[in-house]
Amino acid sequence: MYLETTHDISVNVLPVYIDERSDPERNLYFWAYQVTIQNDSKDTVQLLNRYWHITDGNGAIEEVAGEGVVGEQPIIAPGEQYEYTSGCPLKTPSGIMVGHYELQIQNGALIKVAIPAFSLDLPDANPLYN
């Protein structure tokens, strides 16, 4: 698991290689990642936007930005958490993802919360440092 805390909001990520959705002969490798966002701040927050910086094993970069996550813009009260699962295809057997969420505090202020960098490596493979 990978963990980062910003503004008393923790983001925990667990990536998992999905063999049945991958096809190495066609340079397709697929990972699912489970994210838990834990609000340990004193404020209710709403996740408005996400930003991902994805680098594959060849150094190719893809940036993904958009509203919410998995079609939702969740509201997370103090002491509560929000969990979702999404996925990422790569053309190489290794890569890395990092990013941030933009959250709005109940008073209207916007904050950025870091998503920890996490490695996407085939099980039982020597990791490639991207």
The DSSP letter of residue 18 is -
* Residues 6+ away with beta carbon under 8 Å from 65: 49, 50, 51, 52
Kindly report, residue by residue over 69-89, the tens digit of the pLDDT.
Answer: 999 999 999 999 999 999 999
Q: What is the pLDDT of residue 130?
A: 47
The domains of the chain are located at 2-121
Nearest to 34 by CA among 70, 63, 64: 70
Tens digits of per-residue pLDDT, 98-117? 999 999 999 999 999 999 99
Residues near 49 by beta carbon (within 8 Å), at least 6 away in sequence: 65, 66, 67, 68, 101, 102
**Which of 2.60.40.1470, 3.40.50.1450, 1.10.540.10, 3.30.70.260 would CATH assign to domain 2-121?**
2.60.40.1470
Rounded Cα distance between 120 and 33, Å, is: 10
